[in-house]
Amino acid sequence: MNGYFDGIAPLKFDPNSSELAFRHYDPDEIVLGKRMEDHLRFAVAYWHSFAWEGGDPFGGRTFDRPWFSDSMEAAKAKADAAFQLFEILNAPYFCWHDADIRPEGATFAESRKNFEAIIDLFEEKMATSRTKLLWGTANMFSHRRFMSGASTNPDPDVYAWSAATVKLCLDATHRLGGENYVLWGGREGYETLLNTDMGQELDHMGRFLSMVVDYKHKIGFKGQILVEPKPQEPSKHQYDYDVATVYGFLKRFGLENEVKMNIEQGHAILAGHSFEHELALARELGILGSIDMNRNDYQSGWDTDQFPNNVPEVALAYYEILKAGGFTQGGTNFDAKIRRQSLDPVDLVAAHAGGMDTCARGLKAAAKMLEDGVLEDMRKERYSGWQTPEAQSMLGADLVTVAARVEAEGINPQPRSGRQEILENIVNRYV
**Interface contacts to ligand XLS, rule CB under 6 A:** 97, 137, 182, 184, 228, 230, 264, 292, 303, 335
- List the interface residues with Ni ion, window 257-276 (CB under 5 A): 264
Write down the least CB distance from residue 136 to ligand XLS, Å: 10
188 binds, among ligand XLS, Ni ion, none (CB under 5 to 8 A by kind): none
* Residues 227, 230, 233: CA angle, nearest 5 degrees: 130
Element (H, E) at 215: helix 198-219
Query: CB of residue 306 vs ligand XLS: minimum separation in angstroms?
Result: 13
Q: Please say whether the dihedral angle defined by the alpha carbons of residues 275, 276, 282 and 288, taken in this order, is positive or negative.
A: positive
In order, the DSSP letters of 328-389 are SS--EEE-----TT--SHHHHHHHHHHHHHHHHHHHHHHHHHHHH-HHHHHHHHHTGGGGSH
Instruction: Let me know: does 308 contact 359? Beta carbons within 8 Å.
Output: yes
Q: Which is nearer to ligand XLS, 303 or 357 (CB)?
A: 303
For 19-72, the DSSP string reads SS-BSS--TT-EETTEEHHHHH-EEEEHIIIII----BTTB------TT-SSSH
| Residue 303 binds Ni ion (CB under 5 A) | yes
Question: Cβ 335 to ligand XLS, closest distance in Å?
Answer: 5
C-alpha 365/C-alpha 193 separation (Å) is: 45
With CB under 5 to 8 Å by kind, the binding choice for 179 among ligand XLS, Ni ion, none is none
Least distance in angstroms from the C-beta of 137 to ligand XLS: 5
How far apart, in whole angstroms, are the C-alpha atoms of residue 96 and residue 50? 10
In the chain, the amino acid numbered 24 is H
298 vs 383, beta carbon nearer ligand XLS: 298
* SS3 call for 136: strand
**Of 335, 338, 354, 364, the one binding Ni ion by CB under 5 A:** 335
- Run of H or E including 156: helix 156-175
Residue 164 vs 426, nearer CB to ligand XLS: 164
Query: Stretches 71-79, 194-202, 275-283, 290-298: which one binds Ni ion (CB under 5 A)?
Result: 290-298
DSSP per residue, 268-315: HHHTT--HHHHHHHHHHHT-EEEEEE-B--TTSSS---BPP--HHHHH
Shortest distance, CB of residue 303 to ligand XLS, whole angstroms?
5
The one of ligand XLS, Ni ion, none whose footprint includes residue 320, by CB under 5 to 8 A per kind, is none
In whole angstroms, give the CA distance from residue 192 to residue 237.
Answer: 9
Omega within 30 of 0 (cis) for the link into 92: no
List, in order, residues 6 or more apart from 24 with CB less than 8 Å away: 15, 357, 358, 360, 361, 364
Partner from Ni ion, ligand XLS, none contacting 137, C-beta within 5 to 8 A by type: ligand XLS
Q: Which is nearer to Ni ion, 264 or 278 (CB)?
A: 264
Q: Can you tell me the distance from the alpha carbon of 119 to that of 42, in angstroms, rounded to the nearest whole number? A: 21
* Residue 397 beta carbon to Ni ion: minimum distance, rounded to whole angstroms: 45
Nearer to Ni ion, 231 or 362 (CB): 231
Give the nearer residue to ligand XLS in terms of CB position, either 261 or 365. 261
CB-nearer residue toward ligand XLS: 52 or 122: 52
Q: How far is the CB of 310 from Ni ion (least distance, A)?
A: 17
Are the C-beta atoms of residues 273 and 279 closer than 8 Å to each other?
no
Residues in binding contact with Ni ion, number by CB under 5 A: 4
Nearer to ligand XLS, 26 or 228 (CB): 228
Q: Does 292 bind Ni ion (CB under 5 A)?
A: yes
> Is the CB of 11 or the CB of 138 nearer to ligand XLS?
138
Minimum distance between the CB of residue 261 and Ni ion, rounded to whole angstroms?
11
Residue 415's CB is within 10 A of a number of other CB atoms, namely 5
Strand ranges for 162-304 from DSSP E:
180-183, 189-190, 224-227, 237-238, 259-264, 288-293
- Closest CB 343 distance from Ni ion, rounded Å: 23
| Partner whose footprint covers residue 258, from Ni ion, ligand XLS, none (CB < 5 to 8 Å by kind) | none
Nearer to ligand XLS, 209 or 431 (CB): 209
CB of 426 to ligand XLS, least distance (A): 33
Which residues are near Ni ion by CB under 5 A?
A: 264, 292, 303, 335
